[in-house]
């Protein structure tokens, strides 16, 4: 069955939280924080047979897009859903003439780093001991659009 992508609506927040809770590598937010981002940022969900199986969310700050969170439910991983979400976000950012999409990721998060690199993101710098519990460096990636 195909996976479809669409912009999230307020009723999607509980299933988004359910996916996020199954992803220790994702950022962890409250329902209110997702609600706010729906108003101020970009939230795209992946859905199969009416069930949300993944999402990506981004903030747009001074025209630059920053990925705040990305997760796919465990049963749907390694089937291209994460890649589809990134492609959709890139398409939207390019349509809005964004110069780049930026993100931070834990140094040890190999699956996410491989995914970003596969989709053209390049490692640009790092932030020492940026994360807590456990303390870890953040690697900063960017996908820069040539214009």
Active centre residues (catalytic)? 104, 116
Output Rg (C-alpha) for the chain, integer angstroms: 15
SS3 135: coil
Q: Which CB sits closer to ligand COA, 77 or 144?
A: 77
Contacts with ligand COA in 96-115 (CB under 6 A)?
105, 109-112, 114-115
- The binder of ligand COA chosen from 80, 108, 123, 125 (CB under 6 A): 80
| Residue closest to 1 by CA, chosen among 71, 51, 44, 43 | 51
How many C-beta atoms lie closer than 10 Å to residue 87's C-beta?
Answer: 14
C-alpha 131/C-alpha 147 separation (Å) is 34
Query: Tokens representing 32?
Result: 């209110």
Residue 143 interacts with ligand COA (CB under 6 A)?
Answer: no
* Binding string, residues 8-27; x marks residues near ligand COA by CB under 6 A: ---------------x-xx-
The binding site for ligand COA (CB under 6 A) comprises 23, 25-26, 70-72, 77-83, 105, 109-112, 114-115, 118
């Amino acid at each position: 069955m195909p996976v479809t992508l669409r912009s999230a609506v307020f009723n999607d927040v509980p299933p988004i939280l359910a996916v996020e809770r199954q992803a220790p590598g994702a950022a962890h937010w409250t329902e209110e924080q997702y609600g706010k981002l729906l108003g101020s940022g970009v939230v795209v969900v992946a859905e199969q047979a009416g069930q949300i199986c993944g999402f990506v969310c981004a903030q747009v700050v001074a025209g630059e897009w920053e990925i705040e969170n990305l997760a796919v439910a465990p049963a749907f991983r390694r089937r291209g859903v994460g890649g589809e979400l990134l492609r959709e976000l890139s398409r939207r950012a390019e349509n809005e003439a964004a110069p780049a999409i930026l993100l931070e990721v834990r140094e040890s998060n190999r699956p996410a780093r491989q995914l970003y690199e596969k989709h053209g993101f390049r490692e640009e710098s790092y932030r020492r001991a940026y994360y807590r519990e456990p303390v870890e460096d953040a690697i900063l990636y960017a996908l820069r659009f040539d214009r």
